Amino acid sequence: MAEMGSKGVTAGKIASNVQKKLTRAQEKVLQKLGKADETKDEQFEQCVQNFNKQLTEGTRLQKDLRTYLASVKAMHEASKKLNECLQEVYEPDWPGRDEASKIAENNDLLWMDYHQKLVDQALLTMDTYLGQFPDIKSRIAKRGRKLVDYDSARHHYESLQTAKKKDEAKIAKPVSLLEKAAPQWCQGKLQAHLVAQTNLLRNQAEEELIKAQKVFEEMNVDLQEELPSLWNSRVGFYVNTFQSIAGLEENFHKEMSKLNQNLNDVLISLEKQHGSNTFTVKAQPSDNVPAKGNKSPSPPPDGSPAATPEIRVNHEPEPAGAATAGATLPKSPSQSSLPAVVVETFSATVNGTVESGSGAGRLDLPPGFMFKVQAQHDYTATDTDELQLKAGDVVLVIPFQNPEEQDEGWLMGVKESDWNQHKELEKCRGVFPENFTERVQ
């Protein structure tokens, strides 16, 4: 029996909820059709708009803060890997190894501390701030439902009040019909019963209206106080959040700057003690053509530029009366396979042009000309910005337009034959490996 009673209560509650939903739906339809008025509160609606805006801004801030924390964590991992690499290449007998190791350890701790403080002082505060919004949002929605219930109860009561006269007419009509069929005493009782029933309906409607109004007003008053207070709190919250982030980041960079300075001092000390062992990084031998953007010159076919005897130009002045002022090139058996090299010496420079002392005519040099080199071996260009060289080609070397684009072991120039023919630097210039050539001027 208890089970049946429980089921009966549950069924009754479900039926009541279904009836409420139907009544609310009917009321909303009538309001949309303009057949029933709707209680409006513009001040509250403005508060709701502010609430939704505040929620959207807070949600975005929380998302961006999480992204920032993820970036800090990624930077921590990258910094840790970089310090691990330093420890691996720092040989045991080098001075300052222990100091470098301690700096790396402190660097790791500093990153961890920075990330944790951001979580504690910014993210958790952000989560707490946003944690109050779901409950308030739910109460705003419930207030809206209770407002519909209140409007529905109000309309029902008003309709009973308006139809009072119609009800009295309906009561009189059946009595007049019954006069012919019922005794006089019976007609009075019937009329009294109908009047009592009508009054009961009105009393019930009034009670429901008062109850609905009370529930709505209680929720409405609470929200009217909370929403403006929540809206005003956003200023202080944003200030505290961004102040915390800015302060933590400022302290982090100060401490990190000290660690970096200490590491720099260790490396300077290492450089001073091993200064005599410094060397220039040169291209390593490779049979593969270097990729564009990271050029490193390939070795010449015979393995080393040293295999070719050095060609020197005699710039010493000749005795007066000499028939010619040419340059003399030493010869050796190993040079028999190379084409003859004629190197001109120039006696004067006039307006950017060099006049040949041998009488061979004038040669206009490209802007920024620095010196000449001669190809000692063939070089096959692998990209559009490279020069195709044949052994014996003379190249006029010029500077790079952007020095940062110059790769180790590469020069910029234009073949002398192309320059004499076209005089167009943009069309003729290109880069080439320095170790395929030898300077002649």
- Measured distance CA(127)–CA(62) in Å, rounded: 7
- For 113-126, what is the mean pLDDT? 95
Residues forming beta bridges with residue 372, ordered by sequence position: 396
Which tens digits make up the pLDDT trace of 126-180?
Answer: 999 999 999 999 999 998 888 888 888 888 777 777 766 565 555 555 555 545 5
What amino acid is encoded at 307 in this protein?
A
As beta bridge partners, residue 356 has 346
Residue 271 to residue 278: CA distance in whole angstroms: 8
Cα–Cα distance, 436 to 307 (Å, whole number): 12
Alpha-carbon distances, residue 180 vs 169, 183, 184, 192 (angstroms): 18, 8, 9, 18
Q: What are the residues whose beta carbons fall under 8 Å from the beta carbon of 441, sequence distance 6 or more?
A: 313, 343, 371, 372
Question: Rounded to the nearest 10 degrees, how much is the dihedral formed by the CA atoms of 212, 213, 219, 224?
Answer: 150
Angle (deg, nearest 10), helices 164-178 and 184-273? 150
For residues 207 and 424, give the distance between their C-alpha atoms in angstroms, rounded to a whole number. Answer: 101
DSSP secondary structure, 202-248, as one string:
HHHHHHHHHHHHHHHHHHHHHHHHHHHHHHHHHHHHHHHHHHHHHHH
Reference 375, options 395, 357, 358; nearest CA is 395
**Domain residues of the chain, as ranges?**
22-273, 305-317+325-439
Report how far residue 105's alpha carbon sits from residue 1's, in angstroms, rounded to the nearest whole number. 74
DSSP string, 84-120: HHHHHHS-TTSTTHHHHHHHHHHHHHHHHHHHHHHII
Q: What is the pLDDT of residues 289-345, one digit of tens each?
A: 444 455 556 666 655 444 444 444 444 444 444 443 344 444 443 343 444 333 333
Start-to-end CA span in the chain (Å): 117
Please tell me the CATH code under which domain 22-273 is placed.
1.20.1270.60
Q: Give the residue with greater pLDDT, 177 vs 15.
A: 15
For domain 305-317+325-439, give the CATH superfamily: SH3 Domains (2.30.30.40)
| Mean pLDDT over the full length of the chain | 76
pLDDT at 233 over 80: yes
Confidence at residue 349, expressed as pLDDT on a 0 to 100 scale? 37
Q: What is the pLDDT of residues 340-377, one digit of tens each?
A: 333 333 333 333 444 433 333 345 889 999 999 999 99
More confident residue, 216 or 75: 75
Are 389 and 395 contacting, i.e. CB atoms less than 8 angstroms apart? yes
**Structural contact between residues 440 and 373, judged by C-beta atoms closer than 8 angstroms:** yes
- What is the rounded distance in angstroms from the CA atom of residue 252 to the CA atom of residue 246? 10
Looking at residue 326, its pLDDT comes to: 41
* Type and span of the H or E element at 372: strand 371-375
Q: What is the CA radius of gyration of the chain?
A: 48
Q: For the whole model, what pTM was predicted? A: 0.50
Cβ atoms of 408 and 283 within 8 Å: the answer is yes
Calpha distance 324→233 (Å, rounded): 95
Contacts of 393 (CB under 8 A, 6+ apart): 374, 375, 415, 416, 417
Question: Is it true that 22-273 and 305-317+325-439 share their CATH fold?
Answer: no
* Whole-number Å distance between alpha carbons of 374 and 302: 16
Q: Which two tokens stand for residue 193?
A: 């019963």
Sign of CA dihedral 100, 102, 107, 108: positive
* Residue 415 and residue 430 in contact, taking contact as beta carbons nearer than 8 Å: no
